Amino acid sequence: MIKIITIIGARPQFIKAAVVSRYILENCSSAIKEIIVHTGQHYDANMSDIFFEQMDIPKPDYFLNVNGLSHGAMTGQMLEKIEAVLINEKPDWVLVYGDTNSTLAGALAAKKLHIKLAHVEAGLRSFNMAMPEEINRILTDRISDILFCPTDQAIANLKSEGYQNISATILKSGDVMQDAALYYSTKSQKPELSVSENFVLCTIHRAENTDNLDRLKSIFAALSEISKLHQVVLPLHPRTKNIVIKNNIIIDNENIKIIDPVGYLEMIHLLKNCQFVMTDSGGLQKEAFFFGKLCLTLRDETEWVELVENSFNIIVGSNREKIINGAEKLQTLNPKFEKNLYGQGKTGENIVNAIINYKN
């Protein structure tokens, strides 16, 4: 029996980990025992609990309750608490997802105890070292034993950093978010909300936007303009909401509908029914593509370059004019969404099999 400890703590990680947990439970529960550790990074009902309920995945075995701290303090406390769990449980593997502080803390705790480490969503790069996510992913990749890359680009990024000279297993697994979208699509739920027919779905939560008032104000100025043509539906991350309210940046109205974060099943409904997507989220850029929608990315770069190269996505940053022009330009694009960029829903299976068959 292989014992795996999965470290998760933030919204996208609950969705990603659900794919692998479900695969283990349905197909190989006699070969693998998974223990789930929730660091507490996101902990409230609509950023955490709802995902465990909706996605029908096991509740975490450990809840570490580390939140609301600076990056250093958060990562440090997580490291200490995860280490205690690992010493107690003595797993064969630690499995981490994505690029949050929980990812880095889990990775460090594992390798300092000589426990094997697998990183899902390895090899992604924005090449922007000011992003906390970029630091987390680079450091986690470097100490992982198996690097599960979602795309060819991720593999190419690792090669260009010299990973062929490092004794780690690098695999193209496909993207767990693709598996999640395929599986949960049939279960999508209409949120309790009336929206107009051609609404635009928008999310904003990245530190590079929320922690820079000029960028945030400029994005909202663009949204205000776009909302004259399309109603904008904005499930707002609590961090963004606090800053927006505190600085009087925008007032919720019929054209810009600010709502609380929604569950994943409601999110899929909104994705299926919107006109297009505007976001600084990594996950949502891909989900727009999965559900046949074009996307404006409110950042200066993306890790998901294949979306831009194939005209599914336009990078517009935070500049008001660029965003408004981008929204117009989107209407002229007509890419074929049938393209297979992220695997065909076998990523969970690929990950679990690679761990079962791993030979040192």
Q: Give the residue with the Cβ less far from ligand UDP, 85 or 342.
A: 342
Does residue 120 bind ligand UDP (CB under 6 A)? no
Does residue 24 bind ligand UDP (CB under 6 A)? no
The one segment of 22-30, 104-112, 219-227, 278-286 that binds ligand UDP by CB under 6 A: 278-286
CA distance 239 to 194: 25
For helices 176-184 and 347-356, what crossing angle results, to 10°?
A: 130
CA distance 255 to 233: 8
* 159: nearest Cα among 177, 174, 147: 147
For the CB of residue 259, give the shortest distance to ligand UDP in the complex, in Å.
8
List 205, 230, 237, 269, catalytic entry: 205
- Phi (first) and psi of residue 276, to 5 degrees: -155, 175
Does residue 57 bind ligand UDP (CB under 6 A)? no
Is 237 marked active-site?
no
Kindly write out the interface string for residues 235-254 of this chain, putting x where it contacts ligand UDP by CB under 6 A and - elsewhere: x-------------------
For the CB of residue 15, give the shortest distance to ligand UDP in the complex, in Å.
5
DSSP state of 170: E
For the chain, state the CA radius of gyration: 20
The CB density around residue 339, as the number of other CB atoms within 10 Å, is 12
The one segment of 7-15, 56-64, 102-110, 168-176 that binds ligand UDP by CB under 6 A: 7-15
Does residue 200 bind ligand UDP (CB under 6 A)? no
Residues 6+ apart with CB under 8 A from 162: none
Does residue 262 bind ligand UDP (CB under 6 A)? yes
Q: Which chain residues interact with ligand UDP by CB under 6 A?
A: 11-12, 15, 203, 205, 235, 261-264, 267, 281-284, 287
